[in-house]
Structure 1
Amino acid sequence: MGLMISSFIILVAVALSNIVARYVPGISSTYINLAVGILVGLVPLTNHLVLAFNNDIFMIFVLAPLLFFEGQATPLLIVRKKVKNIVGTAVLLAVASAALVALAINQLVSLLIPVDLIIVAISTPTDATAFDSVIEGRKISRPLQKTLKMESLFNDATGIILLQAGILWLSTGHLSFWTNAREFLLAAVGGLVIGAGLAILLVAFRQYFVRSSNNVISSQTLLYILTPFCIYFVAEELGVSGIIAVVAAGLVHNSEANRSRFSSPRQMHLGIQINNFAGEVLNSFVFVVLGISLERIFFARYSAMMTSLQWLAVGVLVYLLLLLCRYVYARFFVTDKQRRTASLFALGGVHGTVTLAMTFSIGSQIASATFNFILIVETVVIILSMLVPTIVFKIILPRDLDAENRLAELARLRHEMVKVGIQRVKQMKLSPAVQASVIYDLRDQVQKNSLPAFFRQWQAVTANKTVLTGLQSVAQRRALMHAFNAERQYLYELAKQHVVSSDYVYEIYSEILLSESLVLDPRNQLI
């Protein structure tokens, strides 16, 4: 019961924070999610109802599906082309950074080197969603974006293996390089094999039914939703990386979607909508949880934090040294090897909730005082990794004017398109009732009908005052089809003349097709 109430409160916070973000266009929605999470933690009632952070629940029910959807959004062909970069950033850079920074911290601060390794290992995974938030509204090269995304998809497993090595070293006093190397290969390669293998079996099973007369869309969709949970659980039970397994499964499903999208269009469309919806909700969920966790960490450990500032020194050192390692690596191995590119790559190593989840996962494995210290240090690393690039990118990156003008341009195109559609309807011989109904529907495409107008329509339909006859309904459907056709033709001419961006035309064109499906497809109609 407590888990249900806790999830409900966080989901409400997600919904409200995303609405608030629409009214604060200058600030990334991620920061609004974070701020609302902190607010939930500050209010005694909601803070009491939200359960303490549970690493296992978070990894299975939030991170696994999120990584699965992110993997599915990544073409397998890109991964094949970027294998060298992925191994370099997700493995070599992570391991080298962990070793160098741990040794440097040991020399600069009087901490046990296994503790240093644990701290740096937890700081290894990067977060693609957090990176997107710090560059919002700014232009950055697509190759660099892809490199950073590939790194964040695969470096979690490296961080987990390094973390296990650090904990083992702390508890036994010994570090076995070959044992840990073997465990890493087993976890990573095993995760890839298990994830891809199970995904292929599930794809074959679902495709068999998609291509038969016995296909059941509800069952297919349910199997699809359960896929990341099942694969993560099986992989972890077999002792390999569940994170790598769900990423591999997502990549396999990307290829499936590309070659079966017309086999069952309704199923494919529903799957895409589930992907988009779940991805947006889970991303926001992650940062609301992060906000709640940061608030609790600060207030629960305020006294210890004020006693000594060693945690702050270590947190700042870890972040700066990791930044330096990333910069040096980028100067030799990433894209054009220019200083600017290296600086962007270094700052792009943003940390988020995965770092926090890994920190909480060691709570029962080390001494309480050591855990509290590591938790506060990682909090500093997370905050710095988000705050510093947000400020620096605002200074060094150009504004994304295309993104800023996008909404205004789309609104203008929709307005002109609807004018064409309404003009076409007025040229037709329709009864006043049918014409008024069709024009009302067309005006809804650009939100030109006021709230009072909607309630008048709603009241009239409810009171059975404006229900059209059978012949009038047929005339209404035909009028809408003619109007939509005129709108599509208008957009087609714009695209042919290269007057506006094709992306804008395709986006609005697809909206018209969806609207038309609501008119024509019996399964999309509510009455």
Structure 2
Amino acid sequence: MDIVFTSLVLLFAVALSGVLIGLLPLAAPKPMVQIAIGSALALPGFGLHVSLDPDLFFLLFIPPLLFADGWRMPRREFRRLGAPIVALALGLVLFTVVCVGYFVHWIIPGVPLSVGFALGAVLSPTDALAVSSVSGRTAIPRRLMHILQGEALMNDASALVALRFAIAAALTGSFALGPATMSFILIASGGLLVGIALGWLFSGLRGYLTHWRADDPASHVALLMLIPYAAYLLADALGVSGILSAVAAGMTLNGLNTLKGELTTRMQANNLWSMLEFVFNGMVFVLLGLQMPHIVARATASVADIAGGELWHLGWFVIAITLVLLATRYIWIWLMLWGMRLQARWRGEPAPRLSTRVIAISTLAGVRGAITLAAALSLPLTLADGSPFPARGVLVFVAAGVILASLVIASIGLPALLRAGRDPEDDPMEREERDARATAAQAAIRALEAHERTHADSRESSDARLYADACARVLSVYQPRLDPDNASDDSARVRRAFEIEKQLRLTALRAEREEIYRLRNALQINDETLRRVLADIDLLEAALIGPTARR
């Protein structure tokens, strides 16, 4: 009963966070509001306490979130931006582990270098979803956001593998670079292979079931929801990276167009993952807030052994390590761009510009989140000889403090930097979307014309007029999509007319919906008729407003 009650409270807290954000006079990042709610629930008045098991936390929350990220990651951008993504997901992680490790070993008395490396590994992974929530209404440039998404997808595995080696070095007192490197390669590649294989297997199974008409949408969506857990557990059982396995499974299923042509299944799956992503991410930050009083209590007891009992040292550790993380990230990104410029000049290609603003945005976008919290709590309690793990309470407090500090700094700095450099010109992604819609409309028109020619001779004369009228109505839907930029000399006027038509269609659809509800309330139609008509109206409205507006 306690588990059920706690789960319901967490779910209520996540739902409440969305309501509070709309009521607050100032725009507040969702993760900060959720952490505040969690901290309030842990106060003596409520007294809610959740003992967080890191292994259970990883298994419950991380696989579906990473699977959804992998599913949404654009394949084209991932291939094109592979070099900077790898440089950040692998190179920056190792650079951060080394820099933070030596710095922690220096400023925190009694912390061995291997334990400092462990904290560096804990603080290495970033959270791209948290970045989206703190950037405000001004969106991060798409190319940069794709790099951040790819980094967040891949650096979780590299950071956790580095953490495993750092903890092993702290427990045994030894570390061998060669075997560690080979082990890292095997763990990472093994996780990727498991995820890819599972994705292919599931896609083939769905194709077989669909062929035999066993294509119930709800059942297939339920099976799809289990894939990230299966990928994580299978990879973990084989001793390879479960995180990379979940990511690879999501990207593989997206690349195989698993839900192509299945409207109901696709819509149900998209809605399911959107809701799971909202709930699970919210629960992660609420749980962080719930842990804060206990983290502070343990850190207060631990700091007495390493810093003479001065509580202000805890705040100093968080501030200093946060600044080191920012400096480390800034330096690495600057070196990466400088290397890309040298490589472009050597190839005779246009060199990318060393933009201080872009580097600053990329630096502040290194927000820490769920993986950092879980990794910090997974630090062992004792060493191999049974003695307490050095400064564990302080290290966990520092990790939680860095998560909060990175959220606060990003929520203040990112919107200002993004507004300062906002490009007034047309978004290339919007132009690409318009071009894609125009090309798709041309294909639809050609198909309609071919259908008309093929069946013209076989129709009854009484149906010929009906087919012609129906074809004209369908064609009228696609005509406005044909190259709205170049349909006339005044492209702005054409785009404005297209928007006006879109608003008129939305107005008509919403009037239809209101009338359908009125008929149901007047008992002129039943609920089954209501649902069937509303389903058609909702599909048309969803197609008009697009995915961005629906979110």
TM-score (ref. length: structure 1)? 0.76
CA distance in 1, matches of 2:102, 2:222: 49
CA distance in 1, matches of 2:164, 2:242: 15
For structure 1, which segment, 308-317 or 227-236, has the greater mean C-alpha deviation from structure 2 after superposition? 308-317
1:267 to 265, 268, 273: 265
How far is the alpha carbon of 1:439 from its aligned partner? 7.7
- The amino acid of 1:362's aligned partner reads L
Paired position in structure 1 for 2:200? 200
CA distance in 1, matches of 2:547, 2:336: 41
For structure 1, which segment, 160-169 or 23-32, has the greater mean C-alpha deviation from structure 2 after superposition? 23-32
Judged with a 3 Å threshold, the aligned counterparts in structure 2 of structure 1 residues 41 and 469 are, in CA distance, closer, same or farther, namely closer
Paired position in structure 2 for 1:518? none
Q: Answer whether contact 1:75 1:254 (CA < 8 A) is retained.
A: no
Q: Answer whether contact 1:128 1:152 (CA < 8 A) is retained.
A: yes
Q: Secondary structure at the match of 2:48?
A: helix
- The amino acid of 2:546's aligned partner reads E
Alpha-carbon RMSD: 3.5
Paired position in structure 2 for 1:103? 102
CA distance in 1, matches of 2:167, 2:39: 31
Query: Is 1:468 aligned to 2:524, yes or no?
Result: yes
1:359 to 361, 370, 376: 376
Paired position in structure 2 for 1:382? 403
Judged with a 3 Å threshold, the aligned counterparts in structure 2 of structure 1 residues 241 and 134 are, in CA distance, closer, same or farther, namely same
Query: Is 1:396 aligned to 2:396, yes or no?
Result: no
Aligned residues: 448
Q: Secondary structure at the match of 2:419?
A: coil
Q: Answer whether contact 1:105 1:317 (CA < 8 A) is retained.
A: no
For structure 1, which segment, 110-119 or 191-200, has the greater mean C-alpha deviation from structure 2 after superposition? 110-119
Encode CA deviations 1:65-93: one digit per residue, 9 max, x unaligned.
11111111113332222221222111111
CA distance in 2, matches of 1:506, 1:477: 21
CA distance in 1, matches of 2:548, 2:395: 52
Paired position in structure 1 for 2:81? 82
CA distance in 1, matches of 2:357, 2:255: 35
- The amino acid of 1:154's aligned partner reads M
Paired position in structure 1 for 2:277? 279
Paired position in structure 1 for 2:362? 345
How far is the alpha carbon of 1:129 from its aligned partner? 1.7
Query: Is 1:319 aligned to 2:322, yes or no?
Result: yes
How far is the alpha carbon of 1:315 from its aligned partner? 2.7
CA distance in 2, matches of 1:143, 1:469: 50
Paired position in structure 2 for 1:328? 331
Query: Is 1:12 aligned to 2:7, yes or no?
Result: no
- The amino acid of 1:273's aligned partner reads N
How far is the alpha carbon of 1:394 from its aligned partner? 3.9
Q: Secondary structure at the match of 2:193?
A: helix
Paired position in structure 1 for 2:55? 56
Paired position in structure 2 for 1:251? 251
Paired position in structure 1 for 2:35? 34
Judged with a 3 Å threshold, the aligned counterparts in structure 2 of structure 1 residues 412 and 11 are, in CA distance, closer, same or farther, namely farther
How far is the alpha carbon of 1:270 from its aligned partner? 1.2
CA distance in 1, matches of 2:276, 2:286: 15
Encode CA deviations 1:260-314: one digit per residue, 9 max, x unaligned.
421x322222111111111121121221112212243224544555822443333
Encode CA deviations 1:318-376: one digit per residue, 9 max, x unaligned.
22222112111211324643221111111111111211100111233542552112111
Unaligned runs of 5+ in 1: 403-410, 426-437, 445-453, 492-502, 512-527
Judged with a 3 Å threshold, the aligned counterparts in structure 2 of structure 1 residues 394 and 198 are, in CA distance, closer, same or farther, namely closer
- The amino acid of 1:375's aligned partner reads V
Q: Answer whether contact 1:167 1:365 (CA < 8 A) is retained.
A: no
Paired position in structure 2 for 1:441? 515
Judged with a 3 Å threshold, the aligned counterparts in structure 2 of structure 1 residues 416 and 324 are, in CA distance, closer, same or farther, namely same
CA distance in 2, matches of 1:477, 1:45: 42
- The amino acid of 1:26's aligned partner reads A
Paired position in structure 2 for 1:159? 159
- The amino acid of 1:320's aligned partner reads L
Q: Answer whether contact 2:115 2:390 (CA < 8 A) is retained.
A: no
CA distance in 1, matches of 2:20, 2:121: 35
Q: Secondary structure at the match of 1:351?
A: coil
CA distance in 2, matches of 1:477, 1:102: 59
How far is the alpha carbon of 1:22 from its aligned partner? 2.5
CA distance in 1, matches of 2:324, 2:548: 49
- The amino acid of 2:88's aligned partner reads T
Judged with a 3 Å threshold, the aligned counterparts in structure 2 of structure 1 residues 267 and 477 are, in CA distance, closer, same or farther, namely closer
CA distance in 1, matches of 2:116, 2:267: 48
1:372 to 393, 396, 415: 393
CA distance in 1, matches of 2:375, 2:247: 18
Unaligned runs of 5+ in 2: 338-351, 425-498
Judged with a 3 Å threshold, the aligned counterparts in structure 2 of structure 1 residues 152 and 365 are, in CA distance, closer, same or farther, namely farther
Paired position in structure 1 for 2:430? none
For structure 1, which segment, 295-304 or 86-95, has the greater mean C-alpha deviation from structure 2 after superposition? 295-304
Q: Answer whether contact 2:218 2:268 (CA < 8 A) is retained.
A: no
- Listed as ranges, the matches of 1:282-293 within 5 Å are 282-293=280-291
Q: Answer whether contact 1:331 1:338 (CA < 8 A) is retained.
A: no
- The amino acid of 2:79's aligned partner reads R
CA distance in 2, matches of 1:419, 1:271: 28
How far is the alpha carbon of 1:506 from its aligned partner? 3.7
Q: Secondary structure at the match of 1:77?
A: helix
CA distance in 2, matches of 1:13, 1:509: 25
How far is the alpha carbon of 1:63 from its aligned partner? 1.0
CA distance in 1, matches of 2:118, 2:327: 19
Encode CA deviations 1:92-126: one digit per residue, 9 max, x unaligned.
11112211332244345543211211111100111
Q: Secondary structure at the match of 1:214?
A: coil
